[in-house]
Amino acid sequence: MRQPGAIADLYLLMHIFLFAVSVPALLRLNISRLQWVLEPDELPTPVDPARVQKITSYVKLLMNADMPFIRPGCLTRGITLYYFLKRSGVDLSLSFGLGKVEGQYVGHCWLTLNGTPYLERRDPRPGFTEILSLPLRRPVADQALPKSFSRI
């Protein structure tokens, strides 16, 4: 007979898997809808460190499994971790940035906790300029393009 904890862990792993599979579809949403999907109504307290560890371990396991259903990269990893960690009470943000790597502009997303990159191998801020962060600091309508872009 399975232990109740093992069933809960299997459920969590499957929930993370299904969410990670859905990330490409989520990225088709406009930013305010994406925020609505990703943000919990309220942060639970207190944070359960064991659950946070399980979530990070399961996301890492799935991202390293080279599965055809899960798109590799920072977007899937960041959005999936953000969704589950926020619901576990971790008050973090999801940053999106642009930078130049080997002469090409590329994007990157990362989690930020207390103003510092969280769960990153190295600090992405020196190479990437943050252009957007969830939760939004102000309404989307207030985030207009600079005047120099308005003629395009």
Domain total for the chain?
Answer: 1
Distances in whole angstroms, Cα of residue 43 to Cα of each of 77, 85, 90, 124: 21, 10, 7, 26
- Residue 39 CB burial class (10 angstroms; 0-12, 13-18, ≥19): middle
Asked whether residue 152 is assigned to any structural domain, the reply reads: no
The pLDDT value recorded for residue 152 is 26
Tens of pLDDT, residue by residue over 32-70, are 899 999 999 887 788 999 999 999 999 999 999 988 889
Asked whether residue 149 is assigned to any structural domain, the reply reads: no
Planar angle of CA 54, 84, 92, nearest 5 degrees: 105
> What range does the domain containing 125 cover?
4-139
The token pair at 97 is 């940035």
Asked whether residue 104 is assigned to any structural domain, the reply reads: yes
Asked whether residue 62 is assigned to any structural domain, the reply reads: yes
Asked whether residue 52 is assigned to any structural domain, the reply reads: yes
Asked whether residue 148 is assigned to any structural domain, the reply reads: no
Asked whether residue 146 is assigned to any structural domain, the reply reads: no
Asked whether residue 25 is assigned to any structural domain, the reply reads: yes
pTM, entire model: 0.85
